[in-house]
Chains A and B, each alone.
Chain A
């Protein structure tokens, strides 16, 4: 079975940093994804980690520890447009299992 946990909600101030944690217990593992989903829209791809360590992409970074079943998404220099849900997903046999998502609210 799949068990993917992430916080339900987080609030942060514009310009600040927010870290969204994701822990997983899955029957198989071929990598971990982060997706962003604005309200009423489709999810869009943010990042992918298959090896341990940090992947950096501009203001967004993602970290993976396979031995701990743990990942985080780091959002730096927060902007109002970053208010969205962030979905952690584990790739198992080329099918993605998603966590329930973390809603991030950025306040001025």
Chain B
């Protein structure tokens, strides 16, 4: 089934550890995004990529890094996790064109940092 796959589904992590959340899409979308969702705050953009080889910072990029080596994969790395990074992380993709930029979301990765 075409769509976006995120891994892991859920993870508990000790503070200070390094963690990479994986995201793969098979829809050949050119743009990909990482959001975090926290209660009362909604979805906030961490990083994005409009095309393979380019990335940009969103609203809350500190403590996170991304890479976009190819069209399909967009991993999100926490170099040294802190408790405030406890959240649900959603990867999304879209076809950036002159019209609507409809995002398709992955199922999410729930991360707990202790």
Distance (whole angstroms) from the CB of B60 to the closest CB of chain A: 12
| Chain A residues with CB below 8 A from B58, complex form | 95
With A31-B100, A48-B100 in contact, do A97 and B45 touch (Cβ < 8 Å)? yes
| Chain A residues with CB below 8 A from B103, complex form | 33, 35, 43, 45, 96
Q: Do residues A42 and B59 form an inter-chain contact, with CB atoms below 8 A?
A: no
A8–B42 Cα distance when bound, in Å, is 11
Considering only CB atoms, which chain B residue lies closest to A96 in the complex? B103
Interface size class of B (residues with CB under 8 A): 20 to 34
| Chain A residues with CB below 8 A from B94, complex form | 94
Identify which of residues 42-95 in chain A touch chain B, using a CB-to-CB cut-off of 8 Å.
42-45, 48, 50, 87, 89, 91, 94-95
A8–B40 Cα distance when bound, in Å, is 8
Distance (whole angstroms) from the CB of B30 to the closest CB of chain A: 10
A42–B6 Cα distance when bound, in Å, is 11
Identify which of residues 34-57 in chain B touch chain A, using a CB-to-CB cut-off of 8 Å.
35, 40-45, 48, 50
Interface size class of A (residues with CB under 8 A): 20 to 34
Distance (whole angstroms) from the CB of A100 to the closest CB of chain B: 4
Q: Do residues B43 and A87 form an inter-chain contact, with CB atoms below 8 A?
A: yes
| Chain B residues with CB below 8 A from A99, complex form | 42
| Chain B residues with CB below 8 A from A94, complex form | 31, 50, 94, 96, 101
Interface residue from B33, B42, B90, B102 paired with A42 (Cβ < 8 Å) = B90
Q: Residue among B31, B35, B96, B100 with the most chain A CB within 10 A?
A: B100
A100–B101 Cα distance when bound, in Å, is 20
Query: What are 19 A-B pairs at a CB distance below 8 A?
Result: A2-B59, A8-B40, A31-B100, A33-B100, A33-B103, A43-B43, A43-B90, A45-B104, A87-B42, A87-B43, A91-B100, A94-B96, A95-B33, A96-B33, A96-B45, A96-B103, A97-B45, A98-B42, A100-B41
